[in-house]
Structure 1
């Protein structure tokens, strides 16, 4: 036993020396961070030094002796290692005194600092839970203060505005509603705004015919369950068409613009006759006249084109306002696709031709090299660069779903192994920063891949200036994940800083098979830096969209409690999703603190 204790103590002494050597090697970077982050910066450097070693055998040996296994060292790395050494020294019979002076306060100090930093960035937590809830505001939040009040009452702690949508007037209204509802609720709710970032998307495809489909719904035996429906609205170009009224079974309603005078003559029970785009006779009956239009039902499917003649009691009008059918490219493994910087709308290829599609960032096409992977439409299509030429690259499709995958316009392109010579902030992003600094509490920046990107963002914020504006780093690329320790040290020059784990793009970039480990590693790294983290992408998404959660997303939401903030996206049932998440986070907060399990009593097992 003494020999094994000596060996273990020597190994821990070696680790402690490595930790301090790592801190000494990054003194310049640590000295540059804001004073409130100095301790977190040192701990971050120690954590990356520890995780750069394989200590699994050491962990097992420590556990065999009942000492700390070095598990969950994030909050205070040196204290954790020193505590293990003290236990071994006591087992060896050393008389002491034990080395406690080198421990930064105690093992709880890291938790306290992280709580303080989370409060500074996200505001105070709601009673009963540590983890905040961030909610993406829908467009209607600009015109519906009651909706914003409902979000806050349900448990929203941070309102998120995505600047890729809406406009400054709408954002200003949203923020005003948040401030008013927050004051009325008697608690602080902060506002974070995401700048759009560079848009790496597929280019346009020529439109298909302007034909809409009014559909019936039938059961398996062919019995009619729901009729096809038309929403007839006046063809007034100065006024956007009124939205189609909701139907009880959520069946789609085809909106058709018609002559206002013709529409004004319609009455309930009027028959509307037409020949659809296939030449088939169809008949619809006006069921109701409502504000903005008339609702008519039919008993068969109808394909109605722009210009289709509608007849009612001998009076006719032409159907209008029907959007063209979006066209897509069908791709299968073994096909080739030319990715080009030319954004002229492309035609779907004829049999035997190679498909082409544009890329919204010419710099991305120019940066491609032979053999590099290209992921399209959130990774639904995988390809490899086969050859490159001026302004274009030929891709070999390597994976799609069985039977092939259709690729449309405005779909995401991911280049996980391609170095893109792009600034972290686009010109549009920089133009939005003064507005964000004047109205919001934090800004979230996308597409961060290196310390140079952080330097660029900090310089832009200094030029506004915006000393009190919080900065959230969105980690969504492979390089961003790999460079995160250095990027965090650079970002910690600002007092209010956090990280968003954007799991959607991140999964595409690093591979879905790694999605089980990479977000957890980011959480651990942020905890070591005492920097708050946001768990984002598709949390309770099915619940928010349909009102009914899946079992898997409840488990995901429970895991999200390890973050300091969880982000929900918009949906018709978002209030219900907030309430559910509030309950999940409160329950999990009683049994879990970050990666550490808390052994609360389980009363359901009592008296068994």
Structure 2
């Protein structure tokens, strides 16, 4: 057996030697700080082309390390295993590996990764192996105290999603992060996610401008919280309109009315409000002041914009109720016509064919019969049944049949994500809008994240754009590659080699999108493979999507997500999404990582002392 092991290990070492020359130019093109990692990445990619499971079992049978932790230095790890086998055969192990050199190589790989992580993501705080990135909600632009609280609880990086808000609000958020950074006395880098090409459903025609004031009831029908209407003066800008004095229950329906009519009202007045269902509703004024008036009722009310309400024979029309966004009910077996037409569509009546626009015509054009199309994070799955063949005169289209959907159907709205697993789309990751956002980030932020990266050219374009921005501003941004597509996962070694031409680079693993693209059954394997590949490249990883999601949104974590958060410690950084309980999620993640850091380092379990086994 030992001779077979020696032969197999020699074959792997020879394969590494053969694989290196073909990538020499790519390694030389990398930034100096990344060349060692690039060479190790080439070795690791060569190694992972082999199925090593049988070899690992046989190494373990004779008491030799089964290549666990080889990512730090692949050649040295194989050499160490070969030296151990040589010793078992009575040969001189020094001919294959030097123990001190092997340990030094492993330490150098770990140190390089740690340095790159510190440079890109900031230093991990004492007692923690990783960092916490927090997605800032819109309120972070208006509330510096909120941002300071996140920093005090343990936020290490702040993330801004460029798909939301605008440069003015981004600038305010960043100013609040910088102030919080000064207050807590440590660096808090700002990362900005570029929106990328928007592969989303097109608009659906709006409904009537109708708002709803709703009561909250117990199971027996008892009203717990009344329906509320907040009335302010006509002409007040909705963006600066005063907030209603309500701290619990449902948000009030907000309307604007004639200022003179409003000024004549006082607490105790009864307002008669016509409901769109041709019934009357009564609301009693409970508070009135300079900012507005709050009225409460014991019944639900649907109120149309322009409706006349009255109180003591004084009448006014309500204004400011927006048109209702509409959705389309999708059921299994439904037919969907997916087109490049982005005009708002009407929801079908009586089960007719559903028509949907797609924001990227290239995607529709690339579809073929049999391709899968997933909507809204994969909750609706369809299959292409027909295409026009040659280019259609009125633009590309594809007819789909819904093959998977929740029993009873599912609502699908506009601006919902579309995934086309296995379909290669020739659309650049860096859009014109992204280039404008990148120029903003070059002046204000520390890192940009490239969304929907698919090809090596996508990465090359981003690196060039970063170099141009650095020449203009004198500031060099870090780069995160967001791996969220099947194409990106399969091309990861090439994408990393291209990105490593840049000094400060990392990878964000978008688990949610990857699960939709690759299948949920692969969700445990693929992020692990990406993390190990990046470890070999000595490039830091940010693990994203749905970490402590229940805790962030509801204040109560599930048992499964606590375990998931512990596994996430293998990454250099973990991203939390926005939610009302994000501050509590930061503290929980901090505690988990502080504990896990004592028993786990990357993929290597550390056997600390267990008190209960004494």
The one of 527, 532, 535 equivalent to 1:527 is 535
Contact 1:449 1:479 survives alignment (8 Å) = yes
Structure 2 distance, partners of 1:325, 1:360, is: 22
Contact 1:134 1:568 survives alignment (8 Å) = yes
Residue 291 (structure 1) shift: 6.1
Structure 2 distance, partners of 1:352, 1:498, is: 48
Equivalences for residues 323-362 of structure 1 within 5 A = 323-351=322-350, 353-362=352-361
**1:589 and 2:565 correspond:** no
Structure 2 distance, partners of 1:540, 1:224, is: 34
**1:261 and 2:260 correspond:** yes
Structure 2 distance, partners of 1:515, 1:27, is: 33
Q: Residue 295 of structure 1: SS of its match in structure 2?
A: strand
Report what 2:384 is aligned to: 385
Residue 465 (structure 1) shift: 3.3
The one of 388, 404, 425 equivalent to 1:420 is 425
Equivalences for residues 131-146 of structure 1 within 5 A = 131-146=130-145
Residue 375 (structure 1) shift: 0.8
Report what 1:84 is aligned to: 81
Q: Which runs of 5+ in 2 are unaligned?
A: none
Q: Residue 74 of structure 1: SS of its match in structure 2?
A: helix
Q: Residue 315 of structure 2: SS of its match in structure 1?
A: strand
Structure 2 distance, partners of 1:422, 1:431, is: 18
Report what 1:47 is aligned to: 44
Q: Residue 165 of structure 1: SS of its match in structure 2?
A: coil
Report what 1:172 is aligned to: 171
Structure 2 distance, partners of 1:254, 1:107, is: 62
Q: Residue 19 of structure 2: SS of its match in structure 1?
A: helix
Residues 25, 236 of structure 1: alpha-carbon distance in 2 compared, 3 angstrom cutoff: same
Report what 1:242 is aligned to: 242
Residue 45 (structure 1) shift: 1.3
Residue 228 (structure 1) shift: 1.6
Report what 2:23 is aligned to: 26
Report what 1:602 is aligned to: 610
Choose 465-474 or 530-539, whichever is displaced more. Answer: 465-474
Contact 1:341 1:362 survives alignment (8 Å) = yes
Structure 2 distance, partners of 1:210, 1:281, is: 19
The size of the alignment, in residue pairs, is 602
Q: Residue 261 of structure 1: SS of its match in structure 2?
A: helix
Q: Residue 107 of structure 1: SS of its match in structure 2?
A: helix
Q: Residue 273 of structure 1: SS of its match in structure 2?
A: strand
Contact 1:449 1:477 survives alignment (8 Å) = yes
Residue 589 (structure 1) shift: 0.8
Q: Pairwise CA RMSD of aligned residues? A: 1.8
Residue 303 (structure 1) shift: 1.5
Report what 1:457 is aligned to: 462
Structure 1 distance, partners of 2:123, 2:535, is: 18
Report what 2:69 is aligned to: 72
Report what 1:100 is aligned to: 97
Report what 1:153 is aligned to: 152
Structure 2 distance, partners of 1:154, 1:52, is: 43
TM-score by length of 2: 0.94
Equivalences for residues 108-507 of structure 1 within 5 A = 108-240=107-239, 241-248=241-248, 250-289=249-288, 292-351=291-350, 353-389=352-388, 390=392, 391=395, 392-465=397-470, 468-507=476-515
Q: Residue 561 of structure 1: SS of its match in structure 2?
A: helix
**1:60 and 2:53 correspond:** no
Structure 2 distance, partners of 1:352, 1:65, is: 66
Choose 516-525 or 465-474, whichever is displaced more. Answer: 465-474
Choose 167-176 or 117-126, whichever is displaced more. Answer: 167-176
Residues 247, 151 of structure 1: alpha-carbon distance in 2 compared, 3 angstrom cutoff: closer
Residue 14 (structure 1) shift: 1.0
Structure 1 distance, partners of 2:31, 2:155, is: 29
Residue 256 (structure 1) shift: 2.1
Structure 1 distance, partners of 2:264, 2:557, is: 46
1:127-179 per-residue CA deviation (whole Å, 9 max, x = no partner) reads 11120111112222223222222111111111111122222222222222222
Q: Residue 71 of structure 2: SS of its match in structure 1?
A: coil
Contact 2:196 2:429 survives alignment (8 Å) = yes
Q: Residue 106 of structure 2: SS of its match in structure 1?
A: coil
Contact 1:30 1:38 survives alignment (8 Å) = yes
Structure 2 distance, partners of 1:197, 1:454, is: 13
Residue 237 (structure 1) shift: 4.8
1:503-545 per-residue CA deviation (whole Å, 9 max, x = no partner) reads 1222111112211211111111111111000001122222222
Q: Which runs of 5+ in 1 are unaligned?
A: none
Contact 1:197 1:426 survives alignment (8 Å) = yes
Structure 1 distance, partners of 2:304, 2:78, is: 73
Contact 1:78 1:103 survives alignment (8 Å) = no
Choose 225-234 or 128-137, whichever is displaced more. Answer: 225-234
Contact 1:337 1:395 survives alignment (8 Å) = yes
Report what 2:577 is aligned to: 569
